[in-house]
Amino acid sequence: MIELKDVYKRFGQQIVLDGVNFTVKDGETLALLGPSGTGKSLLLKHIVGLIRQDSGIVRVDGKDVALLRRKELKELRSTIGYVFQNGALFDSMNVFENIRLGITDEDKFRDEAYAKERIEKCLTMVNLALDVALKYPAQLSGGMRKRVGISRAIAGAPKYLLYDEPTSGLDPVNSDIIDELVKSLSAELGVTSVMVTHDVRGAFKVADRLALLTGGKIVQQGTPDEFMKSTVPQVREFLERDFGNLTFAA
Amino acid sequence: MAEEILAPVHAVGRRVLTALAHVGRLSRLLAEIVRALAEWRIWLPRAFEETATIGTGSLPIILLVSAFAGAVTALQTGYQFTGNIPYYVAGSLIVESVVLELGPVLSGLILAGRIGARYAAELGTMRVTEQIDALETLGRSPASHLVIPRVIAGIIMVPMLVVVADIVGVFCGWLAVKQVLPVSNDAFQYGARVFWHPFDAYYSVIKGFAFGICITVISCYCGFSTEQGAEGVGKSTTNAVVASCVMVLLLDTLLAKLLLK
């Protein structure tokens, strides 16, 4: 379970997170919506311990992330797969080597046969041909880079998956492919997922629950149905921007 | 009114805090490097690759600059000679100038530009494209994957390039001085030996070693501290080159004071 309680973060005079609260239950997919620059990606970085909150608690698997020692944090991170917005693939390594780095168990990482088998499996799961393994990130399209990023995130068989705008910058067809992929991975692997996005349609397709972050706070969270029926002005404004006619979307 | 009076104090305070923050972050990076030394299986193969890359890449410019430095030293020595100075002294001047100062310092400054800019830009780009964050989320140490191989490469390769620069500088100085002064080969060799101390060679290598550490650590630190996209990468690269050059000159002075007695 992922739990954020009164998380507060400021940079200089700017308050980015102003008491954020939400919980993601085991096996659930939560889509974190919100306009650009509201700190959605920052929240993911708190969950994986890349950034520490000024106050409040971030708990993953019952552990307070900010209080973990180096080794404990490394162990926790081995249970979390993080899909970065632009893939964050290592330019100097080919796809095979990139995905291999995602195998967080050191013994399995060094086992050539296991690594090869695991990488082939991961590539197949994200619908990529096996010959992609020998290509370098610069030779891949945007959609392929995102899928390789997902492959790397799932290579270590994580318990949690964090997606940072997995469909940003993609055309509608590729966005749909990624959305379907996120949905199928959640079902197949049974992982707990948090997906940061401002693609409302995609979020409604993929998520069990949604949360809207704006002004540093979560102003609404609930199931897609609850979201549609919400009377919170920020939620109405956000949904209408994407769906236009809400009765049609519902 | 009070604000106007206090403005310079605030400005100084901000600068002091920024400097302290840099010291803190640099110390943290150094601690990470020491901690990650145990992960030799990761950094050792990468260190070999880096060493080969910066060695082969930097060799042509080091050869060119050291050759010209040696030749120009010889030509200027010839210009300043009068009939009262024995010609063999030219050998002493050229060898000591090149080995003690020109070889190591010019190599240091050139490598501060070449290696410093490259490392800061590489790591800065990795920072802004979240590749360094990705390494951390994968439970891997950026120090063992990215920093130690580069620092080891600098520690190995910079002193070696300094030795090459010394040899080429002296050789070209020898060739050039014969064009401006009637100095024989025997006289040149005699002059070279008269003021030569074996420690001079060690001193040159020690300088290379110190420059190698400071250039690579500073440039890796600048790369790691990059913020704000492409503009940030540009700033980090400039900062890395400037700070490395300044440190090379400071170390040059410090080592001369400490070691040449």
Min Cα distance B237 → chain A (Å) is 19
Q: Is B53 on the interface with A (CB under 8 A)?
A: no
Please work out, in degrees rounded to the nearest 5, the angle formed at the alpha carbon of residue B110 by the alpha carbons of B109 and B116.
85
* Distance (Å) of CA B56 to CA A5, A126, B52, B64: 54, 40, 6, 14
Q: Using a CB-CB distance cutoff of 8 angstroms, which residues of chain A are in contact with residue B126?
A: 90-91
Chain B residue numbers with beta carbons less than 8 Å from the beta carbon of A91 are 126, 131
pLDDT in tens, chain A (250 residues): 999 999 999 988 889 999 899 899 998 999 999 888 888 899 999 999 999 999 999 999 999 999 999 889 999 999 999 999 888 999 889 999 999 999 988 888 888 999 999 999 999 888 889 999 999 999 998 888 988 999 999 998 899 999 998 888 778 887 888 888 888 888 888 889 999 988 888 888 889 999 999 888 898 888 988 888 888 888 888 777 766 655 544 3
> Would the CB atoms of A152 and B137 count as touching at under 8 Å?
no
Chain-chain contact of B133 with A89 (C-beta, under 8 angstroms): no
Q: In this predicted model, what pLDDT tens digit does every residue of B230-261 receive, in sequence order?
A: 899 999 999 999 999 999 999 999 999 999 87
Residue of B nearest to A89 (CA): B131
Please say whether the dihedral angle defined by the alpha carbons of residues B88, B90, B91 and B92, taken in this order, is positive or negative: positive
Would you place residue B211 in the very low, low, confident or very high pLDDT band (cuts 50, 70, 90)?
very high
Strand partners for A160: A80, A192
**For residue B1, what pLDDT is reported?**
67
Chain A CB contacts of B139 under 8 Å are 74-75, 77-78, 104
Contact A102 B138 (CB under 8 A): yes
- Tokens representing B9? 């104090």
Q: Establish if B137 touches chain A: CB-CB under 8 angstroms.
A: yes
Average pLDDT over all residues of chain B: 92
Residues of A numbered 155-214 whose beta carbons fall under 8 angstroms of chain B's beta carbons: which are they?
156
- B128-182 residue pLDDT tens: 999 999 999 998 899 999 999 999 999 999 999 999 999 999 999 999 999 888 8
Q: What is the pTM of this model?
A: 0.86
CB-CB under 8 Å, A85 with B138 = no
